[in-house]
Amino acid sequence: MEHTKCLIIGSGPAGYTAAIYASRANLKPIEYCGLQMGGQLTQTTTVENFPGYPDGVDANMMMMDIRQQAENFGADIRDGIVTKVDFSKRPYIITIDNGDQIEAETVIIATGASAKYLGLPDEERFKGMGVSACATCDGFFYRKKTVAVVGGGDTACEDALYLSGLAKKVYLVVRKPFLRASKVMQDRVMNTENIEVLFEHNTLGLNGDGKVGVQGARLVKRKGEADEEEVNIDIDGFFLAIGHNPNTEIFREWLDVDNMGYFKTIDGTPKTKIPGVYVAGDCADPVYRQAIVAAGSGCKAALEAERFLLEDPL
């Protein structure tokens, strides 16, 4: 069985940064990229808020740059999906989808989280061309334009408020006749002049073409009721804010998660309850979900792994 001092699972900013630090520490890490090489960031277009790129950078190019940096230091980055882990004793056993098994003295889990979508074909059609699940990532591109945010919780209200400072107008599309957000957030939304809340509205589809992108949305008001009616709104951007699913399922037998499925850590560190197993990035972060924060957490996880191996070598 192949053996490594450090196995990294996931390939977003957290995973690749962990690989950089682990490689520089001579841990000779092996990293498996998972389903989405480069992570969620590759679903957007240009990144303008990551330090070091004053003119912005193509998201896919940025992730390739970070990957190349890790490889330059000796990281062994591979395609493949981890399907099973055994954390019962060190070295830990990790199973890959091709049937390979690897022994690892330490493990860094950076599997990220997947944004929830409505399931409309138009969401896939316009992804990166008007459809986004990250207002702070892509909001800047909609300055002085009109956008819609879907959702009724705190995240949706926060996104609507953030976008209201950039966009000409923000529609908040809410399925229920009320907001689920905290009272403070509700008051802020209702008192913001350029936010219009559309209660009891569901999205049917998006209008536009492949060259221009989103140019409008088709909604239905009071779906299933006697006074149901179809509503069309002119928008340039469509933001999903209905939550994320942390990619933590295969680890839940061994590691603690909160009520939303995010990994629990010890005292704000990347440590889990299993010695030598660390978590980084969006799979352990329901709050910030930013590339720079994920990269920082990947750095911390690798530093912890290095210290652990010095103190408790096999």
| Residues with catalytic roles | 134, 137-138
Nearest to 14 by CA among 302, 305, 309, 308: 302
Q: Determine contact, residues 280/269, Cβ cutoff 8 Å.
A: no
Distance of alpha carbon 200 from alpha carbon 223, whole angstroms:
8
Residue 294 phi/psi, 5-degree rounding, is -60, -45
Q: Which of 132, 137, 136 has the alpha carbon at shortest distance from 115?
A: 132
Q: Are strands 101-109 and 46-47 parallel, antiparallel or unpaired?
A: unpaired
Bridge partner residues of 250 (DSSP): none
Q: How far is CA 7 from CA 3, 68, 229, 312, in A?
A: 9, 18, 54, 17
What type of residue is 95? T
Name the phi and psi angles at 119, rounded to 5: 90, 15
